[in-house]
Structure 1
Amino acid sequence: MTDTAAVARMVRLVREARGWFQRDLATAADISQGFVSKIEQGLLPLTAEYLDKVAAALAVPTDLLLTSGPVGGVETTCLHHRRRSSVMSVNSMRAIEGLTYLTRLSVDGLSVDVDSVPSKHKLRRMPIAGHGAAAAVAAALRAAWDLPEGPVENLVGLLESAGVRIMRRDLGTAAQDAVSTWPAGQPPLILINRDLSPDRERFTLAHEVGHLAMHELPSEDQEKEANEFAGEFLAPASDLEPLLHGLTVRQFPKLAELKMTWKVSMAMLIQRAADLDCISASQFKSFRIRLNQYGWTRYEPGDLPAETPRHIAGLVTAQLDRHGHDIDAVAGQALMLPEPFRRHYMPLVVDELDTTAVRS
């Protein structure tokens, strides 16, 4: 028997993930908006005929709509957003949250019957209250993972080896860099906006790891704390402070060299210099003005090598092998239709093959 309440949650979640309003789904499915509203309120069960129509309109298999969706608040309390701007429409935010949940369902499906590789270290909860400051949490995590002094060479590889699932997706807005989630009993997941520069992507990933480790529930200072965590994790004060002491606005060539060594942006190095009292507030302001004059506030000179996530690509490859390279069957296991699956997941396999070829 179909669970009307569960179907109602999934219809609304998938609709919102597409960025649609109820009227958009009504038009696409050739039903009334009132009918959609009653479905999403759980007031009307979806018969097989209408289930097929709604699923076709949303471009998802009916099996997805019959999957139990998140019960109010349980999933969203563990979602963390890294934004360039605090201003975002409710519709955009719900679309990103819906995409995150659907991605988790797909990756969970792709993980079925695939042997996991034991890791030397795992990401764990490290509440900030037990360490006193976000920088102390970052230092403790580096120590727990036996990281040597100096820069983190391959952050994506490090996080994936710690059980963090990472996937690049178009989040539908340049205002959002990433979103992360870690429901109880499940692996942590980070969706990162496609086409970020490598230095911004690395900082964003470290920022999200800070959330995952420190913030099981939202808090007022969580963004500041996640930034502090990211700065210390990627560029520890004990290593960086001697290099930034006495920095002046004439030393952008030095910043460019440090960027390539530490694999972080010049803007982050300037922020670290201010946070560590290596430069004064007026010097920090001068640095920011100079960055703006150079047009470097969004994209800086000096290209860092991209780091390619490999875990989810490995799951896709394993499922293709299990299913005799039947993409339709693998898409069904991911609770997706074949065409969207090809568009979003098959390029991961190509990227993995390209990365492997470069390494060899």
Structure 2
Amino acid sequence: MSLLHEVLTRSRRRTRYSQDDVGAALGVSRVMVSYWETGARVPNDRQLSALARLYGIEPVDLLEGCDVEPATDGLVGMLLRADDAVDPVAALGVGEFVQFLDRFAELVGILNEPIRSLTQSPFVHRQKYSQKDDIRRKAEEVRAHLGLGSAPILDLDPICGSLGIAIYRAPLGADLRRAPSGAFLKHPEMGFGILVNLDMTPGRQRFAVAHELAHALFHSVETNRVLCHGAGPRESFADGFAGEFLMPSAGVRRFAEELGLPPRIVESVDVIEIQRYFNVSWPTALVRLRQMNAITQDTYAEFRATVRPGSLARALGYAIHPEEDVRNAKLGRIQRFPRSFLRMLRRAVVTEVMSPPTAAAFAGLALPDIVQILGQPLCDDQQESPQLETEFREFEVTGVI
């Protein structure tokens, strides 16, 4: 048996993380990590759990001073082996993702209720059919399967939910030169799951969901996990699919014609109109229009360097999306989870299968989060908008019910 601080030191060195890396992953200083490893301070329960996930071992092994090898054969290890350069922040996020899928499967078992989960893609894909025309065709096939036509997609989460794919969001790092944008995993019990990097803007997150959807639907025959970081044939395919899925070529051309825009766009305001209509980020819109030859390379370079999309959109009367102010783009804790999980967690509390504190501990949430999931006010004086009551009265007076 070893002392806790000795196991912490050896585990960190074995995973090749520096004290700065560990501090950044856990939100503490390097000095605090040093205190833990010298025995001057002891991590709290939350920090011990995070350290165990980071080092790929069980919290009880840390507490009991057991030297064990990381669980590299587990799901976390499989995902992380996809990229040896993954940083500790991403490692923690991957651990959260796998833990969420495990808990989701456990919750399904506790409630003994069936849930839609996708374990095999309904689409055919062979590696030789990965050219641009094939990618466009596959995006159109998925849209047709979902009954989307070529219309804009307002929210990708319910689309994935209808397919039986669970989406979880976790911080993986803001520097995408080092951090993955997301991951795909086929969980042994929950089927297909998608992880999205919470440190990206909402627009980039939407693209990541569509990107991971491509891996789930077209690469799951070849592999049961993909950590999206770097380049390669699969990543190129998934990027191409995401662009076509979010901004289908036929839909873009139809919208431009209906709006009276020229086939070759030269005005930045026209790009803004297309961007807002398809509910994508400015980079996604600009890149897609360049891919479609709807703008020239010179126009692309000019707009990329000079246009401030938030200011221009505001001048055109559009509401500014959170992604234009990254400081306001962070999601609350409960919004990291798919709605299907939150509904089941709520049902567990309402039916008294779980108490609110038990449900909070089970999901890694705070008690006020559970209160919010139950749809209750956080305090007695917090009420809904009085305009809602006015609207109800209007409907009731006109006799619609």
Q: TM-score, normalised by structure 1?
A: 0.65
Cα 1:331–1:75 shift into 2, 3 Å: same
Deviation for aligned residue 1:263: 0.9
The root-mean-square deviation of aligned C-alpha atoms, in Å, is 4.9
Deviation for aligned residue 1:326: 0.8
Name the structure 2 match of 1:136.
Answer: 137
Q: 1:109 aligns with which of 102, 106, 109?
A: 106
Cα 1:122–1:348 shift into 2, 3 Å: farther
Query: Letter of the aligned partner of 2:184 in structure 1?
Result: T
Name the structure 2 match of 1:329.
Answer: 358
Name the structure 2 match of 1:3.
Answer: none
Q: Distance in 2 between matches of 1:196 and 1:131?
A: 31
Q: 1:262 aligns with which of 229, 253, 278?
A: 278
Name the structure 1 match of 2:320.
Answer: 303
Q: Tell me, yes or no, if structure 1 residue 152 matches structure 2 residue 148.
A: no
* Partners of 1:168 and 1:191 within 8 A in 2: yes
* Partners of 2:89 and 2:171 within 8 A in 1: no
Q: Which structure is higher in RCO with an 8 Å CA cutoff and minimum separation 6?
A: 1
Cα 1:159–1:17 shift into 2, 3 Å: farther
Query: Letter of the aligned partner of 2:161 in structure 1?
Result: E
Name the structure 1 match of 2:165.
Answer: 164
Which one has the largest radius of gyration?
2
Cα 1:285–1:350 shift into 2, 3 Å: farther
1:221-240 correspondence runs (5 A):
221-240=233-252
Q: Distance in 2 between matches of 1:177 and 1:350?
A: 33
Deviation for aligned residue 1:349: 1.8
Is the partner of 1:127 in helix, strand or coil? coil
Q: Tell me, yes or no, if structure 1 residue 349 matches structure 2 residue 373.
A: yes
* Partners of 1:323 and 1:330 within 8 A in 2: no
Is the partner of 2:366 in helix, strand or coil? helix
Cα 1:53–1:117 shift into 2, 3 Å: closer
Name the structure 2 match of 1:246.
Answer: 264
* Partners of 1:180 and 1:212 within 8 A in 2: no
Deviation for aligned residue 1:328: 3.5
Deviation for aligned residue 1:180: 2.7
Q: Distance in 2 between matches of 1:353 and 1:156?
A: 26
Q: Distance in 1 between matches of 2:109 and 2:86?
A: 36
Q: Tell me, yes or no, if structure 1 residue 289 matches structure 2 residue 318.
A: no
Name the structure 2 match of 1:215.
Answer: 219
Cα 1:122–1:352 shift into 2, 3 Å: farther
Cα 1:191–1:310 shift into 2, 3 Å: same
- Any unmatched runs of 5+ in structure 1? 1-10, 31-35, 58-68
Q: Distance in 1 between matches of 2:306 and 2:376?
A: 39
Is the partner of 2:151 in helix, strand or coil? coil
1:119-130 correspondence runs (5 A):
124=122, 126-127=124-125, 129=127
Q: Tell me, yes or no, if structure 1 residue 187 matches structure 2 residue 191.
A: yes
Q: TM-score, normalised by structure 2?
A: 0.60
Query: Letter of the aligned partner of 2:236 in structure 1?
Result: K
Deviations 1:39-88 (A, max 9, x none): x899xxx9xxx939729x9xxxxxxxxxxx9652755556799xxxx997
* Partners of 2:360 and 2:367 within 8 A in 1: no
Cα 1:351–1:104 shift into 2, 3 Å: farther
Q: Distance in 2 between matches of 1:272 and 1:326?
A: 49
Q: Distance in 1 between matches of 2:56 and 2:192?
A: 30
Is the partner of 1:168 in helix, strand or coil? strand
Query: Letter of the aligned partner of 1:318 in structure 2?
Result: R
Identity of aligned residues (%): 17
Name the structure 2 match of 1:54.
Answer: 63
Query: Letter of the aligned partner of 1:303 in structure 2?
Result: I
Q: 1:93 aligns with which of 79, 90, 93?
A: 90
Q: Distance in 1 between matches of 2:348 and 2:172?
A: 26
The size of the alignment, in residue pairs, is 309
